[in-house]
Amino acid sequence: MEEEIKCGILQGEVLLKSYYVINAEILEGRLSSPVGMVTDGIRINEFRITTPVSLVKLSTGFKEQIKLYVDLQLCSDDERRILANAKSGTILMQAPDLEVSLQGNKHLLFIGDSGVLQAFPAILALARSGGQVEVYSMHRMGKAALNALRSYVKRMDFPLRSIRGGGDRSIAHILEAQTVGTRIMAFCDWSDYSRIKHIARRIGYSNMEIQGIGIGEKDERVFCARCYQMQHKPHESEIICMQCGIPLVISNHYSPRLEAYMGYVNVN
Amino acid sequence: MFDSNIKVRVAEVAEETPLVRSFKLVPVEGELPRFSAGAHITTYLQTDNKLLERHYSLTGNPKYSDSYRIAVRRSDTSRGGSAFWHSQVKVGDEMEISQPKNHLPLSFEAKHHILIAAGIGITPFMAMMADLKEAGKSFELHYAAASAEYCPFYSFILSHYGKQAHFYFSSEQQRMFTLLMWNQPVGSHVYFCGPEGLITQFKHSAQSYGYPDSSIHFELFTPPVTGPCYPFEVMLTKSKIALHVPEDRSLLDVLLDKGIKAPYSCKIGGCGSCEVEVEEGEVDHRDFFLSEQDKKKRNVMIACVSRAKSKRVSIHL
Amino acid sequence: MDKAALHRMEIKAAPLLERFPFPFQADSYRYSNNSRALVPPVCTDLTPEYFEEIGGKRKLLERYPERTFQAFPHTVEAQWEIMAMLMNELAAVHSDYFKLDKQGVQWTFYNRLLDEKSTFVFGDLSTLPYEPLDFIGRHVQEDLIYLQQRDGDLYMDAGQLCFPANWSLAFDLGMTYLQFHSPVPIYSDSGLAEKVRGFLLRMEAGKPWTRLNWTLNVGPRLDTSPEAFGEWGVGRFGLNLENVGEIMHLRAEDQRLFQIPGSNGVLFSIHTHLLPFDQLINNKTWADRFCKVLEDLPDPIAEYKGFLSYKPLLIEYLKQHI
């Protein structure tokens, strides 16, 4: 669990009421991708923040600068205090475990409630890189999150649209109208991300043209080797098949077609 | 000995243009294997002093394999192959060919196929268009040639694929611009076949227009021109043999001369069959098979075209 | 008496111990690309176990169709091509037992071993009782898997699998080469799987390859599918020095790989052979080599092949009889 990246804090401030943003410069280590997320948190001076941090790399001049974003609503009181006092010093963090590439000429961003924090760095990076961007808010976004997103996007002069009715057809309609060079970025919960991926693949986008950060619990499934019944994957590694009653051991073998993990019959 | 090669007889010879001849090949006995669109065969031509191996795309409809059709352009810079086909080969002649191999298959997931050809580069697309039309798939052809007279398969294409075909005749000042790839619907794949310059130009444009590498397909008929060649030494670490590769020979040539059973197929750096593991030395990559990642991460080289930057390389053979 | 017994022809061959494909070339075994050119280039291999195995296969196909046969619709052309290839081969190489008559597209296939005659129109699915791969698979002992090359990768897009060594076609269908090998330790994470995939993608028609794979079998049961693990998985309890010779079998898979040029894919056939330990020990060289292989085998491989827990017992048995 060694921290690979060391940054020097330049300044920090509250953004749109519920987010905190820190400007820092990279002192040691390097970021392979311009936009990413460190899900386990970061170390600010001697303190540790365990909430996820999203970041964007801004190469300006001699040293590379980055902007780090934290959702204050996910922080404990202690963590909020640490952030408020972080005007100088050192940040240590692991390399981002989730990364977003900025290749492509046009980007469509699909942003849900839970993904606003992760979307900010991408929006900023895309604004600076100068390509065409369209931002879509997923159906039924919370008011606060939607307002924050609206304010941020307005600064970048991108259009922010909502998806009519939120259904698959509306999403397909948007995706079908695009030309080659368009990339899809999703920052939302896993089920929405999965939906968008399916629709996009059906229309003809390759895997490389679709990326995103899925937030929250992933609803994963287990395939019973004996009766082929699909069922919810719990945290435990052993379950009883809900259809045939046989005990199963959940393996790591995943089928992208069935979207499930293999559950082998357990005879022990 | 089990020879996978096929004995064929030339059943027909036709002048497609003043420079291009097409040949219909039928099996001497038995049946020809089926082939997939984009496939080519290697023809083995016995000239006075040596055996020539030349690759030609199969131009027929893959649905039918009672015969194979190829088209050969008489080249001014011929290394003997096309000259032989044009001056020596006639109806009734027998020769050996390889089984079909495909280094330019159609994409399965593409929603729209954009075929871009120049000159004799049209050949693999003839089979592809037959396939695509049969399957009701969406495609367009962009085909550059000197003029209608010097455009192989011009009338065939007009009558079968008139709706999808766009011609660019240089004699009429028509140029095929890379812009034709711009604003194409999502799920479009591009395919290039023609001179190296055309392929390089279109490949770079496609990448800048945002086509992911997996949507860009191409086949070269001749090895890419990649600068002056210098001799180098090679050490085979497994067989403990040291060899010298002169500037006018490839590593693969030298290995085969020595009787080493090195695998190979296209011999122009496109298929990866002759890939060897490099243990020491710096490789001068001149192929178009390995990805940039491969070149950086894996210690391999394509023996038929790549050379050494250092004085020697050690390979695991 | 069933029809097969009445009209049964005999397939004469050497005793099992003489024709068993012993999978070890050295006193040590590791994963590698151990393929070699298949000479002669023949896929099918008929053994005296034909009737038993075909009978067993067909029963499984009737009873568990979803488990034993899977194919994507886009593989139909490839299936016809494979069926044609195998029928031509059977009629040419095993002409005592098989005959193929072609009147244009009207084909008649004769299986003299089972006294079966099938007439159909080549290319017309409505004239066959099963999909082409499923049809021809019912006449050969091999399991048949079709790997389609598409968009730069190899996908398991069709297969008829009755005797798997603990893997599921129903689960693996549609996976890429790397994906369906991901449970195999060392092979999947050492870069070897990528190398072999590259090798398969560059295979050429007319130049087939072959390799031997192996594992251990508790009992003489060929169907060791994950679906039926509840039936065969319990056999490993209650093993001891007295019964291990009879119960344990060395299971060898003779795999043959053919490039299918019309569809641009690879046919991967698996012929499974079982040799009980108490017969294996009659070949002292084999017993000695096998013992050394087991002693030297890394634990993850033994675990994956399912016998880590009783490996010492096996070694003891072999040592006793060398």
Q: What is the pLDDT of residues B81-128, one digit of tens each?
A: 888 999 999 999 999 999 999 999 999 999 999 999 999 999 999 999
d(C-alpha A164, C-alpha A158), whole Å: 18
Is C40 an interface residue toward B (CB < 8 Å)? yes
Report the residue from B181, B187, B214 with minimal CB separation from A208. B214
Q: Which two tokens stand for residue C200?
A: 């398969």
Q: Which two tokens stand for residue A82?
A: 């640490």
Sign of the C-alpha dihedral, residues C64, C67, C73, C79?
negative
Helix (H, G, I), strand (E, B) or coil at A198: helix
The yes-or-no verdict on residue C182 having pLDDT over 90 is yes
Task: Give contacts of A182 with chain B, Cβ < 8 Å.
Answer: 186, 210
Chain A touched by B157 (CB under 8 Å):
no
Instruction: For residues C31-40, give the mean pLDDT.
Output: 89
Q: Give the pLDDT band of residue B311 (cuts 50, 70, 90).
A: confident
Classify each residue of A27-41 as buried b or exposed e, where b means 16 or more C-beta atoms within 10 Å of its C-beta: eeeebebbbbbbbeb
Looking at residue B11, its pLDDT comes to 98
Contacts of A209 in chain B (CB under 8 A): 186, 212
> Is the predicted pLDDT of residue B198 greater than 90, yes or no?
yes
> How far from the centroid of its chain's Cα atoms is residue B223's Cα?
9
Instruction: Indicate if the pLDDT at residue C5 is higher than 80.
Output: no
Burial class (CB in 10 A: 0-12, 13-18, 19+), A6: middle
Query: Does residue B21 contact residue B50 with C-beta atoms inside 8 Å?
Result: no
Three-state SS at A113: helix
Beta strands A182-189 and A210-215, pairing class: parallel
**Average pLDDT in the A113-134 region?**
88
Please provide the average confidence, as pLDDT, over all residues in chain C: 94
Spatial CA neighbour of C108 closest among C193, C100, B233, C54? C100
Distance CA C265, CA C85 (A): 13
CB atoms within 10 A of CB C157: 25
Residues in chain A: 268
Average of per-residue pLDDT across B206-235: 87
Task: Determine the average pLDDT of the residues in C92-109.
Answer: 96
Query: For A116, left (φ over 0), alpha (ψ -120 to 50), or beta?
Result: alpha
Residue entry with tokens 């990076």: A125
Q: Is B215 on the interface with A (CB under 8 A)?
A: yes
Which stretch of A2-11, A55-64, B164-173 has the lowest confidence by average pLDDT?
A55-64
Instruction: Determine the angle formed by the axes of helices A190-203 and A168-176, rounding to 10 degrees.
Output: 50
Record the tokens describing residue A127, joined without a space.
């604004």
| SS (HEC) of chain B | CCCCCEEEEEEEEEECCCCEEEEEEEECCCCCCCCCCCCEEEEEEECCCCEEEEEEECCCCCCCCCCEEEEEECCCCCCCHHHHHHHCCCCCCEEEECCCECCCCCCCCCCEEEEEEEHHHHHHHHHHHHHHHHCCCEEEEEEEECCCCCCCCHHHHHHHHCCCEEEEEHHHCCCCCHHHHCCCECCEEEEEECCHHHHHHHHHHHHHCCCCHHHEEEECCCCCCCCCCCCEEEEECCCCEEEEECCCCCHHHHHHHCCCCCCCCCCCCCCCCCEEEEEECCEECCCCCCCHHHHHHCCEEECCCCEECCCEEEECC
Question: CB-based contact (8 Å) between A180 and chain B?
Answer: yes
pLDDT for the residue A200: 97
The fraction of chain B above a pLDDT of 90, given in percent, is: 68
- For residues B253-260, give the mean pLDDT: 89
* Percent of chain B at pLDDT exceeding 70: 100
Which residues pair with residue A26 across a beta bridge?
A7
User: Exactly one of C211, C221, C256, C289 is catalytic; which is it?
Assistant: C211
pLDDT at C282: 96
- For chain A, the C-alpha Rg in angstroms (whole number) is 21
A residues 183-202 closer than 8 Å to B (CB): 183
Which of C151, C261, C262 lies nearest to residue B108, judging by beta carbons? C151
CB A180 within 8 A of CB B211: yes
Determine the average pLDDT of the residues in B39-57.
90
Chain B residues touching residue C150 (CB < 8 angstroms): 105, 107-109
Q: State the distance between the two ends of chain A, measured CA to CA, in whole angstroms.
A: 35
Contact present, B300 and B285 (Cβ < 8 Å): no
Q: How confident is the model at residue A66 (pLDDT cuts 50, 70, 90)?
A: very high
Mapped onto helix, strand or coil, the DSSP state of residue C174 is coil
A227 touches chain B (CB under 8 A): no
Nearest to B34 among C39, C81, C151 (CB): C81
Long-range contacts of B145-151 (CB under 8 A, 24+ apart): B145/B118, B145/B119, B145/B169, B145/B170, B146/B170, B146/B171, B147/B171, B147/B172, B149/B17, B149/B18, B150/B17, B150/B18, B150/B19, B151/B17
Instruction: Sort out which chain C residues have CB atoms less than 8 A from A257's CB and list them.
Output: 173-175
Categorize the per-residue pLDDT at A2 as very low, low, confident or very high, splitting at 50, 70 and 90. low
pLDDT at C1: 43
User: How far apart (Å, rounded) are the C-alpha atoms in residues A152 and A123?
Assistant: 9
Task: Give strand pairing partners of C101.
Answer: C108
Spatial CA neighbour of B94 closest among B31, B40, B28, B41: B28
Minimal C-alpha gap between C310 and chain B (Å): 38
Q: Please, what's the b/e burial string for A171-201 (b: 16 or more CB within 10 A of its CB; e: otherwise)? A: bbebbeebebbbbbbbbbbbebbbbbbebbe
**Nearest beta carbon to residue B186 from set A103, A178, A208:** A178
Candidates B256, B263, B261; CA nearest to B302 is B263
Which pLDDT score, from 0 to 100, does residue C191 have?
A: 85
Q: Which chain A residue has its CA at the smallest distance from C183's CA?
A: A253
CA atoms within 13 A on the CB side of B53: 10
Q: Which residues make beta-bridge pairs with A29?
A: none
Distance CA C291, CA C296 (A): 9
Match 């886009």 to its residue by tokens.
Answer: C74
Q: Among B157, B166, B169, which Cα is nearest to B129's? A: B157
Mean pLDDT throughout B149-162? 97
B114 touches chain A (CB under 8 A): no
Mean pLDDT (whole number) for C304-321? 93
**Inter-chain touch B4–C207, beta carbons under 8 Å:** yes
Contact C261 B5 (CB under 8 A): no
**Cα dist from A84 to A19, A75, A79, C188, whole Å:** 11, 12, 9, 48
Question: With contact defined as beta carbons under 8 Å apart, do A175 and A149 qualify?
Answer: no
Matching residue, tokens 């020697």: B312
Mean of pLDDT values over B14-39: 96
Q: What share of chain A is helix, strand, coil (3-state, %, to 5)?
A: 25, 40, 35
pLDDT class of A61 with cuts at 50, 70, 90: low
- Residues pairing with B185 in the sheet: A179
* Beta-carbon-side half-sphere exposure of residue B178 (alpha carbons within 13 Å): 16
Cβ atoms of B147 and B119 closer than 8 Å: no
Q: Quick check: B33 and C39 CB within 8 A? A: no
Q: What pLDDT score does B77 carry? A: 73
CA distances (Å), origin B93, targets B46, B60, B96, B133, B177: 12, 20, 10, 33, 42
| Pick from B280, B273, B299: nearest CA to B237 | B280
Against chain B, the chains showing at least 3 CB pairs within 8 Å are A, C
8 A C-beta contact, residue B5 and residue B96? yes
Q: How many CB atoms lie within 10 A of CB B293?
A: 8
Element (H, E) at C169: helix C169-172
Q: Is B232 exposed, middle or buried (0-12, 13-18, 19+ CB in 10 A)?
A: buried
- Among the partner residues A225, A246, A257, nearest to C168 by beta-carbon distance: A225
In the prediction, which pLDDT does B192 show?
97
pLDDT class for C313, splitting at 50, 70, 90? very high
Contact C146, C157 (CB under 8 A): yes
Rounded average pLDDT over C204-224: 95
How confident is the model at residue C6, as a pLDDT? 47
Residues in contact with B148: Cβ distance below 8 Å, sequence separation at least 6, in sequence order: B154, B167, B169
The ipTM is 0.92
Q: Is the pLDDT of residue C7 over 90?
A: no
Residues of chain A contacting residue C226, judged by C-beta atoms under 8 Å apart: 225, 262, 264-265
CB contacts < 8 A, A to C, total: 46
- Tell me which chains share at least 3 CB pairs under 8 Å with chain A: B, C
**What is the average per-residue pLDDT within A57-77?**
86
- pLDDT at res. B102: 96
Q: Which residues of C touch A229 (CB under 8 A)?
A: none
Chain C 50-109, residues with CB within 8 Å of chain A CB atoms: 66
Q: How confident is the model at residue A40 (pLDDT cuts 50, 70, 90)?
A: confident
pLDDT above 80 (res A249): yes
pLDDT band at B63 (very low <50, low <70, confident <90, very high): very high
Contact (Cβ atoms closer than 8 angstroms) between residue B11 and residue B80: no
Burial of C322 (0-12, 13-18, 19+ CB in 10 A): exposed
| pLDDT > 90 fraction of chain C, expressed in percent and rounded | 87
User: Could you give the angle at the alpha carbon of A66 between the alpha carbons of A62 and A69, nearest 5°?
Assistant: 165
For residue C199, the cross-strand partners are none
- pLDDT, position C3: 52
Cross-chain Cβ contact B34/C261 below 8 Å: yes
Find the closest chain C residue to B39 by CA distance: C261
CB count, 10 Å around CB of C235? 16
Has C150 been annotated as catalytic?
A: no
Min Cα–Cα distance to chain B from A209, Å: 7
Sign of the dihedral defined by the CA atoms of residues C41, C42, C43, C48, in that order = negative
Residue B223 has pLDDT above 80, yes or no: no
pLDDT digits (tens, 9 = 90+) for A219-228: 899 999 999 9
Residue B99: CB atoms within 10 A of its CB come to 19
- 3-class SS at C239? coil
CB-CB contact of A40 with A86 (8 Å): no
Residue B229 pLDDT > 90: no
Lowest mean pLDDT among A242-251, B263-272, C54-63, C142-151: B263-272
Residue B58 touches chain A, beta carbons under 8 Å: no
How far are the Cα atoms of A180, B188, C177 from residue A183, in angstroms, in the given order? 8, 14, 27
With a cut of 90, say whether residue A140 has pLDDT above it: no
CA C161 – CA C181 distance, rounded (Å): 16
